[in-house]
Amino acid sequence: MIKLSEIFKRNIQFSKYGRSGSIVITVNKNIAKTIEQAGWKCYLNNGIYRLNPPTITLIDIIDIEKALQYQNLIFNYALYKYIMLLKQKGILHEYISEIIGKHKIFFNNFEFHISIGPILKYTVKIEGSDNRIYKLKKYLINYVLEDKRFTKLYNEYINIFSKVPNIKQKYVKKENVDLQENYINQYKANDYKSRKQSFKIDFRQIELERFDYIIFILNGCFKIIPYFDIDKYKNKIIFWEVHIDKTKGADNFNNIDNLKNKSILIVDSIYSGKTILYIKKKLKNITDNVSIMGVFPKSDSVANICDYIIILNKVIKKDENGFNIEEEILKILGGKFEKQ
């Protein structure tokens, strides 16, 4: 019998994407199937199964979709500051373990891991040995809501943010919905569906018209293309498949010969930045006119390899001082940034 909790603990490592987590590699189909049934994501490539455990994003102040998971941007930011305080004190693991201890029977033989890494400055991800991680998230939020220390902090931020933007979703025009469906079918991205509603992104700091081509990176791009008027730029759009971790598949740089001396914008959800740097190296002898738009970067260091970033609902262009993500967030939320 497979002990998932033991497998989970034994395989925690630092991944190629710049954060720690549990990764199981096996060629045994039955083992892979059993682990997958517990909620793990499974990737098959050349007879090798790569499995990642179920993961929650407890907090994210960058990604507009995740920042609004609690339907309150002030609460989201206050929760981020409180969780960071617990991390800095080195007691976050103990805090979560205390919650699990209140539900010992339910969480019997369950393990969790708080992912760490330089790319996770503005988000907190927690992995679990099985699907009970999602229930843990509910228990954790309820526990925080009853924590007087958090309540005090939250009330302080209510007074700081007086003009929080009313960020709402808008309907995506039919032409863009149809194109989303076509692209998803063309690239067999079966885990994604076209979206008829999306948050409106402020693109005023970038002129998309000036680029000859816009490159989106498969398959994660299907989370972000609803933000773009893809019908307007459909003749400029190219899709590339790029993997730093080769167990996830092979690279496909289609139409690369057409990019000679052209103006290129690479758009990708950016984590470690390794994929973007790899692509820039690939284009080195093709064109020197390459710009990068990093979507929802989770650290300042990663953001600063980009020319443009998307933070919450806004595209921001890099200036001579580089990016300071928290300062930009506070500008959007209507608060005041104080240097530490």
In tens digits, the chain (340 residues) has pLDDT values of 689 999 999 999 997 777 999 999 999 999 999 999 999 999 888 899 999 999 999 999 999 999 999 999 999 999 999 999 999 999 999 999 999 999 999 999 999 999 998 889 999 999 999 999 999 999 999 999 999 999 999 999 888 886 777 788 899 999 999 999 999 999 998 889 999 999 999 999 999 999 999 999 998 899 999 999 999 999 999 999 987 766 666 788 888 989 999 999 999 998 888 899 999 999 988 999 999 999 999 999 999 999 999 999 999 999 999 999 999 998 888 866 555 4
75 contacts: CB under 8 Å, gap ≥ 6: 154
Instruction: For residue range 316-336, list pLDDT tens digits in order.
Output: 999 999 999 999 998 888 866
Q: Show the tokens assigned to 172.
A: 């995506």
CA distances to 78, 175, 183, 237 from 234, in Å: 40, 11, 11, 5
Instruction: For residue range 138-157, list pLDDT tens digits in order.
Output: 999 999 999 999 999 999 98
Q: Which amino acid is at 150?
A: F
Query: Which H helix or E strand runs over 138?
Result: helix 132-145
Q: Which residues of 255-283 are buried (b: 16+ CB within 10 A; e: fewer)?
A: eeeebeeeebbbbbbbbbbbbbeebeeeb
Neighbour tally for 132: CB within 10 Å: 21
120 contacts: CB under 8 Å, gap ≥ 6: 19, 298, 299
Q: Nearest to residue 123, comparing CAs of 316, 311, 337, 314?
A: 311
- Distance between CA atoms of 67 and 61, rounded to whole angstroms? 5
Residue 167, Cβ density class (10 Å: 0-12 exposed, 13-18 middle, ≥19 buried): middle
Contact 77, 329 (CB under 8 A): yes
Contact 225, 274 (CB under 8 A): no
| Secondary-structure breakdown of the chain: helix, strand, coil percentages, each rounded to the nearest 5 | 35, 20, 40
Reduced to 3 states (helix: H, G, I; strand: E, B; else coil), residue 123 is: strand
Residue 82 CA, chain-centre distance (Å), reads: 21
- Distance between CA atoms of 116 and 93, rounded to whole angstroms? 12
Contact 24, 35 (CB under 8 A): yes
What phi-psi label fits residue 117: left (phi over 0), alpha (psi between -120 and 50 degrees) or beta? left
Domains and CATH numbers, the chain: 4-52 (no CATH), 57-160 (no CATH), 169-333 (3.40.50)
CA distances to 178, 236, 338 from 116, in Å: 39, 37, 25
Q: Nearest to residue 219, comparing CAs of 247, 199, 248?
A: 248
Q: Show the tokens assigned to 119.
A: 């790319």
Which pLDDT score, from 0 to 100, does residue 340 have?
A: 47
Q: Nearest to residue 38, comparing CAs of 128, 158, 103, 125?
A: 128
Sign for the pseudo-dihedral over CA of 132, 134, 140, 145: negative
Which value, in Å, is the radius of gyration of the alpha carbons in the chain?
Answer: 21
Q: Which amino acid is at 25?
A: I
